């Protein structure tokens, strides 16, 4: 334990355990900014996340009033919760500072950005989500990304042969 009472890994950095990653998001969107947000969860949702039962493939965040909500994130049901279980795809409130919510909400409204969750993880025992301020890619952008990936792969192969 450190003097502030928070448990940290050796070397002072925070302990991070990745639960799930939205790999499709990096293919479909160009990520301009990233932000870490906390999640308001119920007990059965936290237990499900600890078991790794989550999916972010169709998830997105949307500003509603002065708050930001994570929608369509599928956190599977926890077997032992039985009667007190949660709805798998319910909207979950994201915990951010007011200035961050206002800044990102303005960009979503004015410039056509989308807020997409990229990674869901535990950081020092608390559930966090990494959000990306994203712009959708068109067909040409995707082809360009594939071409760059192929040339990088070929360069790596050539370096290994030498």
Query: Which stretches of the chain are DSSP H helices?
Result: 23-28, 43-51, 98-111, 139-161
Average pLDDT, the chain: 86
Question: Can you tell me which residue has the tokens 């979503």?
Answer: 108
**Domains along the sequence of the chain with CATH:** 16-136 (2.40.280.10)
- CA distances from residue 87 to 13, 38, 66, 73, 149 in whole angstroms, order as listed: 34, 19, 24, 11, 39
Per DSSP bridges, beta strands 114-123 and 74-75 are unpaired
Cα gap 143→97, rounded to integer Å = 37
Query: Average pLDDT in the 34-42 region?
Result: 92
**Which pLDDT score, from 0 to 100, does residue 1 have?**
43
- Alpha helix stretches (DSSP H) within 13-138: 23-28, 43-51, 98-111
Are 133 and 32 in contact by the 8 Å Cβ rule? The answer is: yes
| Average pLDDT of the residues in 81-106 | 86
Measure the CA–CA gap between 109 and 61, rounded to whole angstroms. 13
**Whether the Cβ atoms of residue 132 and residue 34 lie closer than 8 Å to each other:** yes
pTM of the entire predicted model: 0.77
Return the DSSP state at 5. S
pLDDT confidence of residue 34 = 94
pLDDT beyond 90 at 65: no
Burial (CB count <10 Å: 0-12, 13-18, 19+), residue 115: buried
Would you state the pLDDT for residue 88? 75
Query: What pairs with residue 29 in β-bridges?
Result: 136
Predicted confidence at residue 83, as pLDDT, reads: 73
Q: How confident is the model at residue 8 (pLDDT cuts 50, 70, 90)?
A: low
pLDDT at 30 over 60: yes
Position 45 confidence tier, pLDDT thresholds 50, 70, 90: confident
User: Which of the residue ranges 27-31, 68-72, 115-119 would you say has the lowest mean pLDDT?
Assistant: 27-31
β-strand partners of 133: 33, 115
Strand partners, 128: 38, 121
Q: With 60 as the cut, is the pLDDT of residue 4 above it?
A: no
């Amino acid at each position: 334990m450190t003097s502030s009472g928070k448990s940290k890994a050796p070397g002072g950095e925070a302990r991070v355990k990745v639960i799930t990653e939205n790999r499709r998001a990096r293919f479909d969107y160009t990520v301009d900014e990233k932000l870490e947000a906390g999640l308001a969860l119920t007990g059965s949702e936290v237990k499900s996340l600890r078991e790794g039962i989550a999916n972010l493939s169709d998830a997105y965040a949307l500003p509603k009033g002065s708050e930001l909500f994570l929608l369509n994130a599928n956190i599977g049901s926890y077997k032992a919760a039985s009667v007190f279980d949660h709805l798998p795809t319910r909207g979950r409130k994201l915990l951010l500072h007011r200035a961050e919510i206002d800044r990102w909400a303005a960009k979503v409204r004015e410039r056509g950005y989308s807020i997409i969750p990229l990674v869901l993880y535990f950081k020092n025992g608390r559930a966090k989500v990494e959000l990306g301020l994203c712009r959708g890619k068109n067909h040409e952008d995707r082809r360009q990304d594939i071409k760059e990936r192929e040339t990088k792969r070929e360069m790596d192969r050539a370096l290994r042969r030498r």
